[in-house]
Chains A and B, each alone.
Chain A
Amino acid sequence: MRLFETTEQGSVEIVIDEDIQARQDELAGINRQWFRDRGIRAFDIAGSVGAGKTSLIAGLVGRLSAKHVVGVIAGDVATTYDAERVTGRGARQVLQINTGGMCHLDARVVHQALQKLQEGIEVLLIENVGNLICPAHFALGVEARIVVASASEGSHVIEKHPAMFKSADLVVLNKTDIAEAVKVDLSRPIADLEVMRPGLRVVKTNGLTGEGVDEVMAALGLV
């Protein structure tokens, strides 16, 4: 860091030259190593409020718990409803993060939560705060980010939220059963994704019945 005298008012300019995004990525890297050291496979499940993140997690926990020790971190601005919904599905531990107004999880708050994680967890599902914009730039250090969108979010949901879908490793299109009722043609978001992210895996699900959850597991290599 260097200092420069300024010509007016005797102020001093401090050259800082710090990349804030790089710091976020560095923190995500610490989490990535933390998971690697413990052999934990961690996944970030993100998407809008009401898209079906918790239903997907509940479905995954129910299926995975037979073979794996599963933990869940549920991030919400307030309340513990989501944590309560997945408790009892077979998860070893459900940790709640109340972000207190923060619209996304970041690597730092996840790292703090990890200090409370029980030993022996093999698969960790992290539910991000319901938001299709803000989490895009905050990597958590996980193996994959699953972005859940639902039919009720409209035909143009992909185009409207480019940053989020560019950050996805897998996209889940949920509520396929109501697409016709809300007059949404699901071929549109699928075509938009193919333009934005050629080859990216998309799985259609119905969170109420569990249809498609096995495919999500297969796509994540969790069978």
Chain B
Amino acid sequence: MHELSIASDIWSSVKKAAAQHGAGRVKSIKLEIGALQMIEEDQLTFWIQALAERDGSPAVTVKIATPPEGAQIRVVSAEVEPPTDRANSHEGIG
């Protein structure tokens, strides 16, 4: 069940980043989770999707890569609907 806490932290991170960019619905999230974390990926995905749906982003795809070493839980990126104010979105485009 600690997957729920971790899912909650991950979703908060994504939601904050999306809000900062004025983005719309979140479509997918890329994560890296070290093998040492002993996290059940299906459960983690379920909870992220449940939290996302609650906040208006149904059917989020969660892509998890597992680096062979390390114990990190890293939110790599999120694919979102374009910012509603495109002028703002160009700030920092790389």
A residues with a Cβ closer than 8 A to B are 1-6, 10-24, 101-104, 106, 133-138, 163
Across the interface, do A14 and B74 meet the contact criterion of CB distance under 8 Å?
no
Across the interface, do B80 and A11 meet the contact criterion of CB distance under 8 Å?
yes
Partner of B23, one of A14, A133, A134: A14
Q: How far, in angstroms, from A21 to B78 measured CA to CA in the complex?
A: 18
Q: How far, in angstroms, from A12 to B25 measured CA to CA in the complex?
A: 11
Interface size on B, residues (CB 8 A): 35
Across the interface, do A1 and B92 meet the contact criterion of CB distance under 8 Å?
yes
- When distances are taken between beta carbons in the complex, the residues of chain B under 8 Å from A6 are 79
Across the interface, do B82 and A11 meet the contact criterion of CB distance under 8 Å?
yes
Partner of A18, one of B2, B4, B13, B89: B13
- Chain A nearest Cβ from B64, distance in angstroms: 13
Across the interface, do A16 and B75 meet the contact criterion of CB distance under 8 Å?
yes
Across the interface, do A103 and B82 meet the contact criterion of CB distance under 8 Å?
no
In the complex formed, the residue of B with least CB distance to A1 is B17
Q: How far, in angstroms, from A3 to B38 measured CA to CA in the complex?
A: 31
Q: How far, in angstroms, from A101 to B93 measured CA to CA in the complex?
A: 41
- Chain A nearest Cβ from B68, distance in angstroms: 17
Partner of A14, one of B9, B17, B36, B38: B17
- When distances are taken between beta carbons in the complex, the residues of chain A under 8 Å from B6 are 20
Given contacts A23-B9, A106-B5, is CB(A16)–CB(B76) below 8 Å? yes
Interface centre among B4, B5, B6, B77 (most CB of A within 10 A): B5
- When distances are taken between beta carbons in the complex, the residues of chain B under 8 Å from A10 are 82
- When distances are taken between beta carbons in the complex, the residues of chain A under 8 Å from B79 are 6, 11-14
Interface centre among A12, A18, A19, A104 (most CB of B within 10 A): A12
Across the interface, do A3 and B89 meet the contact criterion of CB distance under 8 Å?
yes
Q: How far, in angstroms, from A133 to B10 measured CA to CA in the complex?
A: 20
Given contacts A3-B89, A14-B17, A102-B4, is CB(A20)–CB(B75) below 8 Å? yes
- When distances are taken between beta carbons in the complex, the residues of chain B under 8 Å from A4 are 93-94
Across the interface, do A2 and B14 meet the contact criterion of CB distance under 8 Å?
no
Across the interface, do B14 and A102 meet the contact criterion of CB distance under 8 Å?
no
- When distances are taken between beta carbons in the complex, the residues of chain B under 8 Å from A5 are 93
- When distances are taken between beta carbons in the complex, the residues of chain A under 8 Å from B74 are 17-20
Partner of A17, one of B37, B75, B92: B75
- Chain B nearest Cβ from A158, distance in angstroms: 15
- Chain A nearest Cβ from B1, distance in angstroms: 4
Across the interface, do A11 and B27 meet the contact criterion of CB distance under 8 Å?
yes
In the complex formed, the residue of B with least CB distance to A10 is B82
Can you list 21 pairs linking A and B with CB atoms under 8 Å apart? A1-B92, A3-B21, A3-B93, A4-B94, A11-B79, A11-B81, A12-B80, A12-B81, A12-B82, A13-B77, A14-B18, A16-B13, A20-B10, A20-B13, A20-B73, A21-B71, A21-B72, A103-B1, A103-B2, A134-B1, A137-B2
